[in-house]
Chain A
């Protein structure tokens, strides 16, 4: 991660104040939600399907070490070279070594969130290698030096006018046009030359099948197929949780993924790669590499509750249904994975001390859990992360960066609260004091959380008499 701290309140304020962004997002999220509901119109069938998907992902994770070894063995038998990386830095170096061994300087990329997590493009650019994004949305944001704001539709924060201006300014000899079909045609033309000339193709992986050593890629545009077919070398990068046990596990997950992501029965292409070009075959890469990235996943995996984070198939539907994400967009979160899934994944990958605030970007409405195709208990994990933020004890399964919120003032307050609730006379005294002094709380000197809280909310008036006192006056026995 390049940044060490993210100023969430500032980001949130900026995003909420951006009317254009909010209109772009609202329209898109409503559409994606509607399409999903149309596809999964039978709630009973959906529940059955996602129970199946959940079970497949749980089984894969329960057998993770064996399946990773099986995947490696099968891929190796098939001629795919498997590499393991503990950190993004190691994964980047593996990619760089392969690219340099082929003397390549032009890399074409299919969409991959893990490569975003690695900041691969930036790493390669610093070493004189052009890594060009070829998914239309990714291409658009790369032109504008931005990061994806959504897992599935990375340029969804932009509207056609903004993209029209961008193309006109950044692509030589491009007239200004707001016609979506024409913008598409411009990108097609530019990128076709790149596909033709690309020396190494990089892609992600949606599912890796241990049984057969097959890498599955889901896409609509054909750029993913281009990147994995046209250049002589293909590098696939994946988080090590993406493995599934059997080929027959793929169809239900595929249905859940495309249905949840964009409401499609199936995407235009489902691309299953099992080996490099065999003797006699006329195209396809001569070398296929698979990079397995850990980056903290094995630590997440160690805890049975947190492990469920790794069931995620990156459909992005939790983003589309989140009342926080749909108002902010992805950039405000400041990290690669935004929205509900980002709010549970990122603090675990980066450490609570860096990204713990993300776990507070939730109203606990549970919409994400209702739609999650693999039943990740997102709110339970959010709650766990909030608790871990105050956990000082260094147990093996404690989340990285835990206890970062522990502070003397809060500890003292809670001690006082406990004492007050256990000691009737202290409670009575506190109730009296609060009814007198409560309205003055926002005027206390900094750091003053009551003042922060009341900046955008009305302070509830404190009752003149506590419930305790009122009950006593009525002569009701205090049991």
Chain B
């Protein structure tokens, strides 16, 4: 058993007891509060800059928009959460010429092969961030973490009312500090890299494509 913990803390405490200097902190810079339309427009513009495809639709028409997108591509399946509102809505009106709906119903140990070979997935989002152009995802038992990571195409459904002005605002309004989930994510586009000569290319280890359906009701 190592004494590292005790040694490190003893060293730090020996100094901390001599150090009583209090520091004053400048106030945090003010954040811009945006109206609903501005938030949607800004998020859309910024995410499109990062090569996401953003479609503004509403809760009556989003499935039609989704189907149209899927028909333009030849995909081997669409990974979804069968028990969520998205999953049940899709299952009710799915058509045979569309890629089959595949549920993420088993633990990764039993379904890894499928997760790494399926072409597309669809998930909900917890919200969006207008100031930087990003989605907030809190994956859970229904919509596990790999859903927004392993398939080459990730489709995310975002309710316009859940777009916050900034991350700080989202954390404050939703009291994140009182209970963080296993994993919380911000996603601003498809995966990318600039590691070779700073040439920006999209589609590295995560999804190559990200489509955001904004439900503006």
Contacts and interface: CB of A to CB of B under 8 A. Distances in A.
B203 A274 contact: no
B206 A221 contact: yes
Contacts of A240: 8
B8 A86 contact: yes
B144 A268 contact: no
30 contacts: A52-B26, A55-B23, A64-B12, A90-B2, A136-B195, A155-B195, A180-B199, A184-B193, A184-B196, A184-B203, A185-B203, A188-B204, A196-B112, A221-B192, A222-B149, A222-B191, A222-B204, A222-B206, A229-B146, A247-B176, A248-B168, A248-B171, A248-B172, A272-B180, A276-B182, A278-B182, A281-B182, A301-B12, A301-B15, A302-B14
B184 to A, nearest CB: 4
Interface string A185-215: 1011001100110000000000000011110
Contact of B28 (A52, A135, A163): A52
Interface in A143-165: 153-156, 158-160, 163
Interface in B22-79: 23, 25-29, 46, 50
Interface in B93-119: 104, 106-109, 111-112, 116
A304 B7 CA distance: 20
A324 interface: no
Interface in A254-312: 254-255, 262, 265-278, 280-284, 292, 294, 298-299, 301-302, 304
Nearest to A93: B2
A163 B26 contact: no
B159 to A, nearest CB: 21
Interface of B: 2, 4-5, 7-9, 11-16, 19, 21, 23, 25-29, 46, 50, 104, 106-109, 111-112, 116, 129, 131-134, 140-141, 144-146, 149-150, 166-168, 171-172, 176-177, 180-199, 201, 203-207
Nearest to A271: B185
B168 A251 contact: yes
B116 A196 contact: yes
Interface in A206-254: 211-214, 220-223, 225-226, 229-230, 232, 240, 246-248, 250-252, 254
A450 interface: no
A136 B185 contact: no
A156 B108 contact: no
A31 B198 contact: yes
A301 B201 CA distance: 40
B169 to A, nearest CB: 9
A28 interface: yes
A247 to B, nearest CB: 4
A84 B141 contact: no
B197 A27 contact: yes
B205 A223 contact: yes
Given A180-B196, A275-B182, A299-B11, A225 B177 contact: no
Tell me if A's interface is mostly helix, strand, loop or mixed.
Answer: helix
A251 B171 contact: yes
A115 interface: no
Contacts of B107: 282-283
Given A251-B166, A266-B134, A136 B188 contact: no
A150 to B, nearest CB: 10
A394 interface: no
A48 B192 contact: no
The 9 closest A-B pairs by CB, nearest first: A222-B206, A137-B195, A222-B191, A270-B186, A283-B108, A84-B5, A65-B12, A222-B205, A266-B132
Contacts of A184: 193, 196, 201, 203-204
B191 A221 contact: yes
Nearest to A279: B141
Contacts of A446: none
A52 B146 contact: no
A58 interface: yes
A220 B141 CA distance: 25
Contacts of B166: 251
Given A184-B204, A196-B116, A220 B191 contact: yes
A85 interface: yes
Contacts of B2: 84-86, 90
B191 to A, nearest CB: 4
Interface string A27-44: 110011000000000000
